[in-house]
Amino acid sequence: MSMSSPHQIAVRTPTENYDIHVGQDVLVPFGQHLAELLPGRKAFVVSHPTLLDLYGPTVTGALQQAGFTTETYAVPEGETSKNLQTAADLYTHLATCGADRRSVLCAFGGGVVGDLTGFAAATYMRGIPFVQIPTTLLAMVDSSIGGKTGVNHELGKNMIGSFYPPRAVCTDIALLRSLPEREYLCGLSEIVKAGVIDDTELFTLMERETEAIRQRDEAVLTTLIERAIAVKVRVVEEDPTEQGVRAILNFGHTIGHALEAVTAYEQYSHGEAVAIGMALVAKLSEMLGLCEPEARNRLFSLLEGLGLPVAYADIDTQRLIEVMAHDKKAIDGVVQFILMRDIGSVVYRQQVPTDVLESLLVEYA
């Protein structure tokens, strides 16, 4: 990873080569950048109805100013849009409107739009150019980076997909002003994660600026987002195909995913489930003598200060353990954890004895 200019973060792996443009009101210069990068002049913007109401003219205007003709396509909001049928409808739209291999697909939305659009771009005519314009905090710091695209199948989340890198990413902080509070918190949870796994300074900054973060201070947010992106880029560059160290991005997610599953994805947002997961893993790490109580305390305080939960209620512990044992990252039924050594340092592929896990969860139930 390198900072090619104050607001561009370069991603370079054997199969990926693109820049992430970060800042306020960076859409117009981004349009110009695309015009230089791509040979074609047809852009297809995939988004949601609400987002097109709010920002449609801003996005298409930026592209048109750079010489693109634009078409917009809205998919319904929510995880249920991330499926093969929605992708098939999108192919139909693309084919009907004459999209070819020189056209560019622009994902304008959160992770749902990003994953779906990336998947469509990867498969339509065996792959056409694709760019990400993330509009949620989670998409800015997480899902728009790393090249994973895909849709859900009735037998599993993200079951159908491929690694397909975008040609560029445009991260415009100004878009966050309209983001609902719960979605905002979701992204904050992933930024806390980035601090814990690889950036002590980012974590300290969040501790110091908690109030400004709650107020969505854009100067503070810009720094947080750039640092969180940098963490993900470093990890992805080190392990683009998820053979090893990339696992640390799942810190807090083993328990988090299980919590989401046992509550049928209704009780907790992803970020809330991950916050609880991180808190529990910190506690687990402390119980195993791997980290000091002080580090665990700092994590609890930061999460609570930001308005994120650190514990759950009314969950069947046995069910939770069962679901974890079936996690796709479990090996022979033994749950793999990313444990915390300190703020800014984690260890991965740690097997935790079931009785230790049980006593932790029972204490919490």
Type of residue numbered 106: C
Cβ contact 30:170 at 8 Å: yes
Q: Has 289 been labeled as part of a binding site?
A: no
Stretch that binds ligand NAD, among 57-65, 178-186, 214-222, 250-258 (CB under 6 A): 178-186
- 257 in active site: yes
The verdict on whether 319 is a catalytic residue reads: no
Q: Is 82 in the site for ligand NAD (CB under 6 A)?
A: yes
- Angle (CA) 134-207-170 rounded to 5° is 15
Catalytic, 246? Answer yes
Binder of ligand NAD out of 77, 209, 217, 304 (CB under 6 A): 77
Written as one string, the DSSP assignment of 322-360 is HHHHTSTT-BTTBPEEEEEEETTEEEEEEE--HHHHHHH
Q: Which stretch binds ligand NAD (CB under 6 A): 12-20, 43-51, 258-266, 325-333?
A: 43-51
Q: Is 204 annotated as a binding residue?
A: no
Check 21, 42, 246, 296 and give the catalytic one: 246
> For the chain, what is the radius of gyration of the CA atoms?
20
The reply to whether 111 sits in an annotated binding site is yes
Q: Does 158 bind ligand NAD (CB under 6 A)?
A: yes
Q: Which residues are within 8 A (CB) of 208 and not within 5 positions of it... i.e. 6 or more apart?
A: none
Closest Cα to residue 259, out of 237, 241, 281, 240?
281
* Given the residues 21, 193, 257, 283, the one annotated as active site: 257
Closest CA to 202 of 1, 307, 345, 310: 345
By CB under 6 A, name the one of 33, 42, 48, 253 that touches ligand NAD: 48
Answer whether 171's CB lies under 8 Å from 140's CB. yes
- State yes or no: residue 65 binds ligand NAD (CB under 6 A): no
Catalytic residue of the set 193, 270, 283, 298: 270
Q: Which of 20, 173, 179, 228 binds ligand NAD (CB under 6 A)?
A: 179
Instruction: Give yes or no: 182 in active site.
Output: no
Query: Alpha-carbon distance 60 to 307, whole Å?
Result: 35
Catalytic residue, candidates 21, 33, 250, 283:
250
Residue 172 sits in the site that holds ligand NAD (CB under 6 A)? no
DSSP 217-243: -HHHHHHHHHHHHHHHHHHHHH-TTSS
**Helical H segments across 42-162, by residue range:** 49-65, 84-96, 111-123, 137-138
Given the complex with ligand NAD, which of 103 and 136 has the nearer CB atom? 136
**148 counts as catalytic:** yes
Q: How many CB atoms lie within 10 A of CB 112?
A: 24
Residue 126 CA from chain centroid, whole number: 25
Confirm or reject binding of residue 112 to ligand NAD (CB under 6 A). Answer: yes
User: Which listed residue (183, 198, 272, 327) binds ligand NAD by CB under 6 A?
Assistant: 183
CB nearer to ligand NAD: give 83 or 354: 83
Q: What is the DSSP letter of 298?
A: H
Q: How far is the CB of 65 from ligand NAD (least distance, A)?
A: 21
DSSP characters over 174-221: GGGGGS-HHHHHHHHHHHHHHHHHH-HHHHHHHHHTHHHHHTT-HHHH
Q: Is 157 annotated as a binding residue?
A: yes
Q: Which of residues 133-152 bind ligand NAD (CB under 6 A)?
A: 135-136, 138-139, 142-143, 146, 148
Q: Which residues are annotated as a binding site for Zn(2+)?
A: 190, 253, 270
Which residues bind to ligand NAD, rule: CB under 6 A?
Answer: 48, 50-51, 77, 79, 82, 109-113, 115, 135-136, 138-139, 142-143, 146, 148, 158, 175, 178-180, 183, 186
Q: Which residues are annotated as a binding site for NAD(+)?
A: 77-82, 111-115, 135-136, 148, 157
